[in-house]
Amino acid sequence: MEKYKAKLEEEMKLLEEELATLGKKDVETGDWEAVPESEEKSQDVEDEGDMADRAEDYEERSSALGVLEKRLDDVKKALAKIEEGKFGICEICGNAIEEERLNVNPSAKTCESDMEKVI
């Protein structure tokens, strides 16, 4: 179990670092929000600095942020399960999740045969 915990903690760190490059964390809610590219950074791409591009860029950041945030959430849930002694148990059928599956993705919530039932 310790090796999964270490993996998950490592992944959590990486995800938070990645999130920090795209947005900022709301200290009150703990949610991440995309921030528009700073003036400082956008000086390199002066020609592309019109409003439409900026809006598009913001959209992209927001959706990338959403994906990362979801992954971070899964990682946190998996860590919580380790604390509760429920780690590695399929949320659908209640059987143990295959070890090789956990090695690839320690935040997996289901066994291999149930993975398509969860979105």
Binding site for Zn ion (CB under 5 A): 90, 92-93, 111, 114
**Contact predicate 89/111, CB 8 Å:** no
Of residues 15 and 111, the one with the C-beta less far from Zn ion: 111
**Contact predicate 33/63, CB 8 Å:** no
**Contact predicate 117/110, CB 8 Å:** yes
Q: C-beta of 98: minimal distance to Zn ion in Å?
A: 10
Of residues 30 and 94, the one with the C-beta less far from Zn ion: 94
Pull the structure tokens for residue 97: 């999740």
Q: C-beta of 4: minimal distance to Zn ion in Å?
A: 18
Of residues 18 and 91, the one with the C-beta less far from Zn ion: 91
CA 94 to chain centre: 24
Q: C-beta of 11: minimal distance to Zn ion in Å?
A: 22
